[in-house]
Structure 1
Amino acid sequence: MQTRTYCGARPVHAERTGESGRPDLPGYEGHVERVVVLALDGVYPFELGIPNRVFGSAEGRYEVLTCTVDGRPVRSDSDFSITVEHGPEVLRTADTVVIPPFALTDLRTDLPEAVADALRSIRPDTRIVSICTGAFVLAAAGMLVGRRATTHWQLAGLFRQMFPDVDLDADVLFVDEGSLLTSAGAASGVDVCLHLVRKDHGSELANRVARSCVVPPWRDGGQAQYIEQPVPGPTATSTAATRHWALERLDEPLTLAELADHARMSLRTFARRFNDEVGMSPGRWLIQQRVVRARQLLESSDLAVDQIAGEVGFATGASLRQHLHAAIGVSPQAYRRTFQTDRRP
């Protein structure tokens, strides 16, 4: 009898395995997504545990299994090895495969035969996610040719040198290319896993998972805010208070001048400091926050599109449609149909 432990204060309960071989979890009767985590030699323990912490807190929507390419223990990049319960055969049963990062000394443009064989066993319709150096594995397997992807910003130069046929974006926390998702270093694995929960089951569940794991449900900006740069002087003022102030007034037509005035900075200083802290311009950040709020209202309310546009600060419903489509590629009506009809208890 297996058990599932939810992060945070969720109770531990026994899983019952149904005829499909998937666990029948109390309180949830829908399809349980099988997530298989492939631990490679030199794996980073922190990132290896992220999928189970996040997906394992999604109230029974996911089952997480961990495997290696041969079922044997693998060394980690720390002073211990890791023993798993499964071999590569479970990759054939996965709905989603996650490849955590591994030691930099093992980076190469070609794949060991055992790794290549394991990847070839994955079904064509399986969603594949990489964290940090896991993107090097996908690139070496030829999965990222002509696609947009990301990895840790410190490895961007090496990645471009090794895989010039991949459109690398080193400024973002993760890239969603549909069936292929790549994320940046370390904690961005949390971001991409929460993104998948949000994409699969909506913002309300993703927010509950984030609260359970004591992490933010959505991090502003991209990797630019983490790139080494001079530390601000002790008298430098943060824009954090102004961002909080703006979030409470998304329905108002906020201008850069109003934001800078609230922060008591000149326009130029505010714009520069905002970009340093958040990794994007104030205008782009405001649009992003308005789209996030609009998505929440589309999922959780019956407000008309024009009403939601007014609630989040877009001048018209047409403006909301334009920005939502630019952000996630669908119309408000299509987004609402997907998440309001698919919401589960």
Structure 2
Amino acid sequence: MEAIHTQGIWIAEALQQITKSQDKLWLIATHIGDPKAAFLLVFPLTYFLNRRTGFAVVWVAAISEWLNLVFKWMLFGERPFWWIGESRLFEKNPPKLQQFASTCETGPGSPSGHAMVTAAVWWVMASSLGSLLYSYTRSMLLSAVPYVLYLLGLVAVGFSRIFILAHFPHQVIAGSLTGFILGVVLSRQVPEGRPLVFFVSSSIGLLLSALLIHSGLTWLGFDLSWSIALAKKWCSHSEWIRLDTAPFSSLTRDCGAILGLGLAQYWKPGGYTLPCAPRALCLALCSMALYHVHRLPLPIQPQPLFYFLFFIKFTIVPQVVMIYVPGFVHLLTHKNKND
């Protein structure tokens, strides 16, 4: 792996040197590809265009991110920003590389979570839009456009992760391929219409199984906190280390989102049926609401409290999109009609 990692460092250096004037575009791409963007950005956008697709986005995002966490625990992948120092191969010829605020993630690096979740979630959107375009136009050319955009977006996210030194190229490729397969498989088995007990059981099952895997690996002698120590050691700015990038943050996010899906469906089976204009208003209001939910500060100590509140935050997200905001808009428009 040393040769692969070394080659990855030189690729990252070349990418930074050639495209250093486009660093803001790479940072935007990495933010769009962040797994939490699937819940906070992609989900509301797709939900108000097509209910099933929006539902599928949350389900696919949660399952693929959970699997990514398990893979990372088992594969022990390095990250470029700490491997450069730990390997001690570049003491005589150090690469000219820059870290960014998004660089210093604390989990293991393989496979790339951004690439894996993006590939899975965006496949749901691309396949849904492609099918819709074909049903209306019967044009293979037009229906292929979403898939081309899917590929271009995935490449952009992958390059952005290499550019900011969060991942090696092979980790991005592995994440993209795995996410594509998951997107194809999971999008065919969306549990829309299942009872609340299914989602409660799924949320608890994902949480307990992850904790069991973590405990089992720890019992076998593996130190699963090794990456956190390295991230803190080699990150150029200590304030760039954030608890919401820790492995258990993604776990609580996924479990909370799945529970939130079940609760939203339980409170209002079938959702609200709204015309185009009210749905556009819902999207605008949801964007503002989720922005404030995301920005809500959480206490980082004690850590169990942080993870519990993080779980609650993402349990609320599907309910905001599927119940609270559409319910408010439905009430508002229904009242105006009566007046």
Higher strand fraction: Structure 1 or Structure 2? 1
Tell me the TM-score normalized by structure 2: 0.27
For CA contacts below 8 A with separation 6 or more, give which structure has more relative contact order. Answer: 2
Tell me the TM-score normalized by structure 1: 0.26
Higher helix fraction: Structure 1 or Structure 2? 2
